[in-house]
């Protein structure tokens, strides 16, 4: 294979990589914009107009992963039997 041909192939690969980077940068800029979220159920409207759970939207549009937990307020609301000791200690 000639040097000229290798240079042309390398330039083509470089151009493809640059295009991919530009597309990814545009995607990141889009994610930094305003995200329409329902004030009630917290679903997010995607670019196609469909409403999705936050977890589904984030997983589809980012590389982030979720680790589910329960916040202290919800813990008291959902599992009060496990929170009695904590409530008593905070009152003392």
pLDDT digits (tens, 9 = 90+) for 59-71: 888 888 888 899 9
- Indicate if 45 and 27 belong to the same structural domain: no
Residues 21 and 38 reside in one and the same domain: no
Tokens describing residue 32: 């930094």
**Residue 37 pairs with which residues in a beta bridge?**
44
> Residues 68, 72, 76, 77: is their CA dihedral positive or negative?
negative
CA 32 to chain centroid: 11
Pair 41, 66 in one domain: yes
The total number of structural domains in the chain stands at 2
With beta carbons less than 8 A apart as the criterion, state whether 54 and 42 touch.
yes
Encode pLDDT of 11-69 as tens digits. 999 999 999 999 888 877 766 777 899 999 999 998 889 999 999 988 888 888 888 89
Instruction: Indicate whether 50 and 76 sit together in one domain.
Output: yes
Look up the domain containing 79 and give its range: 34-92
Do both 38 and 72 map to the same domain?
yes
Residue reference for tokens 């008593």: 88
Residue with tokens 């800029």: 29
Give the pTM.
0.47
Per-residue pLDDT reduced to its tens digit, 71-91: 999 999 999 998 876 555 555
Q: Verify that 57 and 26 share a domain, yes or no.
A: no
């Amino acid at each position: 294979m000639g040097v000229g041909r290798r240079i042309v192939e390398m330039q083509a690969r470089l151009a493809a990589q640059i295009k991919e980077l530009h597309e990814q940068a545009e995607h990141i800029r889009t994610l930094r914009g305003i995200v329409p979220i329902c004030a009630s159920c917290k679903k997010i409207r995607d670019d196609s107009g469909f409403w999705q759970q936050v977890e589904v939207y984030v997983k589809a549009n980012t590389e982030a992963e979720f680790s589910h937990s329960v916040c202290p307020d919800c813990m008291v609301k959902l599992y009060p039997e496990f929170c009695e000791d904590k409530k008593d200690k905070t009152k003392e």
